Structure 1
Amino acid sequence: MQIGLSLPDFTSPQGPERLGEELADVARTADAAGFDHLSVMDHFFQIPMVGPAENEMLEAYTTLGFLAAHTRRVKLLTLVTGTVYRAPGALAKIISTLDVLSGGRAWLGIGAAWYEAEAAGLGLPFPPLAERFERLAETLEVCLRMWSDDESPYSGRHYQLARPLNSPQVLTRPHPPILIGGGGERKTLRLVARYAQACNLFPGPELPRKLDVLRAHCEAVGRDYDDILKTTTYSFDVGPDGDRVERILDDLGRLAELGVQAVLGGVRDVWRLEPLHILGERVIPLAAELGTAP
């Protein structure tokens, strides 16, 4: 099982003046500790599940570029981009830029978007849910075309690109992996089967059924279910001096038995760095033995 670090909260102990320095320390520590992925949310306001909207929130892709400069091996992604927040041609270019400058470590994490309050607050587009899913499908088609060196015009219902030129081209071939977040059984998981190399699901009691639905969608489109990396979220709390490590390993073991191959989680007290060292020394090596991702 792979272990990824998510950074959902940028309210650091020393405030915005030292945030860049603290964030760089976290990234370097996670990279050295053996985390496979490093992700940030694509939000402009803090989300209610984490804190008040007024709490510090950094723009995702500026942050990932910063993190790329302070790491050498960890894969970089959003968990996940709101598809309506950026035009698809621009998004493909953003991911391509991150991939080139990071040496081929960019992923596209994407979903239909849900946080209407931030969109209204900043004047961002937020069409009805059905249209957001239509735009998500077209965004995926545009990104794949731009990453394939096909410069022929793209004409969709919502997006038209006269010349989807992408130079420099991505280093990752055939293209940066696509992770689609969400567990919607009729639309989201169907898009995973058609386009994605990874999915991200909540680790609740419905997880086994979601994976069964995904398998059925894969069969319907002739896709190998085993080619898709199954990921979920998790909250790592190692406790004082790492006394909760065994509990974490038990949780990861249960998730692995369900078919989860990667966990992308926030870490309590991440700014202290010591929890990252504990996870690197006592969790990541043992988690790797729970299963190998495709």
Structure 2
Amino acid sequence: MRKLFLVVSSLALSLFVFFYMNPAVHAQSFGWGYKKNSDHKVPEIGKYRDMLDKYGAYYADHSGDKVVYLTFDNGYEQGYTDDILDVLKAEDVPATFFVTGHYVKSEPDLVKRMANEGHIIGNHSYHHPDLTILTKDSMKMELEELEKAVAAITDQKQLKYMRPPKGVFNERSLKWANDLGYIHIFWSLAFADWNTKAQKGGQYAFDQIMKQMHPGAIILLHTVSSDNADALSKLIKELKSQGYQFKSLDDLVLKDMLPKAIYGF
């Protein structure tokens, strides 16, 4: 009996050490999501809002201004990024491209073009892991390795914004990113555009975006989508005709910081 007690106690102690001394095991993680609406308003995100506010993260501009922030996730190339950059240049529209290590390594000329044409390069991590299961040191390594890769080929030596792979996050990963000087950027408008085998045409992409459009939207798009490449010019022209302005994430953060600097809150 005493031997059984010792075995059970030892097992319990081992489990305690494993689950409570290893922070990558027991922290709850979340997949980014929001409640869509048909009123063209910023979608609600429920309990996520307090977490984002606590750690200076963004998913939309809540000012009510008719502004749009274009963001693209780039994990690999499908041949459409040049076309997208051509449209952005012709329309004088800024964007942020969240890139991975694979993308920087395989498409350095495109990354250089993004930076040279005034777009922001964002950090999507080097290897695209689930950041919520990493230690803080491993997360730091993922972000710093990507930053160094971008700095080696562009003038953007420091990356300010990050987007977690697959939108997976928790309070700990938000805090750690904040500690490391990064700002999490989620999104308030997206659709299933990443499946290259299920493209439905530029009109489909246009309709999906316009159906969800709202003032202050941070739009997530993927450059692997031929639909997005086909729709982008029409989309930008239509939104401009409706009085929307296209701004960069720097504008969003600056807008948010000014009242705090002036009024102290």
TM-score interval, smaller chain: 0.3 to 0.5
TM-score normalized by the length of structure 1: 0.42
TM-score normalized by the length of structure 2: 0.46
